[in-house]
Amino acid sequence: MIGWNDLRDKRVGVWGLGREGRANVRKLRTLNVEPVLVDDRPQTPDVLTTSDDGLKALTSCDVVVKSPGISRYRPEVAELERDTVIVTSGLSLWLAEQDLSRVVCVTGTKGKSTTVSVIGHLLTGLGYRCMVGGNIGAPPYDTGTDDQYDFWAIEVSSYQATDLQCAPPVVAVTSLHPDHLDWHGGVDRYYRDKLSLCIKPGAELTVANGDSEPLRDRRRLLGPEVDWVHADDDPDADWMRPLGLLGRHNRRNALIARHCITALGISITDDVRLRTAAAGYQGLPSRLATVGVVDRITFVDDSLSTNVLPTLAALDAFPGRRIALIVGGHDRGIDYTPLAHAIAARAEPTLVLTLPDNGPRIHAAITRAAPHMPVSDCDDMTEAVRAGFNWGRPDGVVLLSPAAPSFGRFRDYRDRGEAFTRAVSALRPLSRGAVPSAARGR
């Protein structure tokens, strides 16, 4: 395996200058390596363009440290490897040099960010120093990151998993559902790439979502030993109550976090101690976060929902409540039939408000499954929020859980969530009794 320190005397290229790519450059410069910089759309004149001279420059390197957003299945990657260039990633280089007994890696289509944040919070509350990083927060090898930790909880995306040389003994998988099909080239390859973390050299135990049929069907891809975790496990435990997380899926995420901590060798026999450790947890932004209550209507930002699976979980988080559901965004060709059937099966009144660009396609899927379900196409977030407010009274929930990515209309999911919050704030002068509500995350 190759690690960061093996690059000191190499000619190294950095391909992709996003958040992780810039961290790669900083790390290399601490090793006195001045890398060749290449990006598909460079923002500065010192960075080469991939389609021009950039690829040629990368072929002259010994090692190319690739950003996760650049698909391993691009023909340029194959061309580099044919020229015997090692194509790797910053996270892979870091793992190769770590004491992996102190690292837990968490992946999954959805739920991985919450799970690693809960792991980090609980370990901190139990008296350990834990860094939460990877696909969330900072890369663990970034300069300025204090490496004096007892443990590392690392979120691993499907993009990142494909580049890894090894895995720690303990990994976790929170969920599995089709996503990022354009990057991976199909559902089956996405599933294989996502779960490849579980069978990398070094992996021993996979803590897995036992309620997921796609995961159970792929037991052979989950490594030598699996610890199945179900949302209904340990029904009398209340240690997770201070976390303030909504929904059965989050109960399962918290249980997965606990199982991971135990698998790291930390004995937790006292639920009172664990409940104390859970206190003070702050939910992550745009993950089932209540942004306000106006005229007794609750407004919930779940903007990070970029496919069907988290939207299904969000609907389940409000049993017995009438919901105005705001969906739609960038169209990646996702099948919305499961969402349509879930909405049709709700006993409570449900209004679907769609946004561009794929709103009409979601509308059509819902109409096929439930011809009498009310669906309204909206031009923008403000219109959708106002329509949900007018319909939701009294005591309803207006839920932004788009089941689609944000790009095109918004910079990212945060920008989309902020647009939702602004639209809610604009309702307040029109209403009496508007009160703030503490945010709770997924």
Q: Which residue has the higher pLDDT, 432 or 367?
A: 367
Distance separating alpha carbons of residues 370 and 352, to the nearest angstrom: 12
Give the pLDDT of residue 269.
83
Mean pLDDT (the chain) is: 93
- Reported pTM: 0.87
Q: Which residue bears the tokens 């010994």?
A: 62
pLDDT in tens, 47-77: 999 999 999 999 999 999 999 989 999 999 9
Which of the four pLDDT bands, split at 50, 70 and 90, describes residue 432?
very low
Which of the four pLDDT bands, split at 50, 70 and 90, describes residue 429?
low
Distance separating alpha carbons of residues 31 and 21, to the nearest angstrom: 16
Domains of the chain as residue ranges with CATH: 4-88 (3.40.50.720), 93-278 (3.40.1190.10), 289-430 (3.90.190.20)
pLDDT in tens, 268-288: 888 999 999 999 999 888 999
Give the pLDDT of residue 375.
97
Interval 227-247 mean pLDDT: 93
Give the pLDDT of residue 438.
34
pLDDT in tens, 363-392: 999 999 989 899 999 999 999 999 999 999
Answer yes or no: is pLDDT of 440 > 50.
no
Q: Is 217 helix (H, G, I), strand (E, B) or coil?
A: helix
Which residue from 114, 134, 435 is spatially nearest to 302, judged by alpha carbons?
114
Answer yes or no: is pLDDT of 186 > 90.
no
* C-beta separation of 383 from 355 below 8 A: no
Residues 6+ apart with CB under 8 A from 375: 351, 352, 353, 354, 363, 366, 367
Q: Which residue bears the tokens 């996003």?
A: 18
Give the pLDDT of residue 439.
34
Interval 7-33 mean pLDDT: 96
pLDDT in tens, 306-362: 989 999 999 999 999 999 999 999 998 888 999 999 999 999 999 999 999 999 999
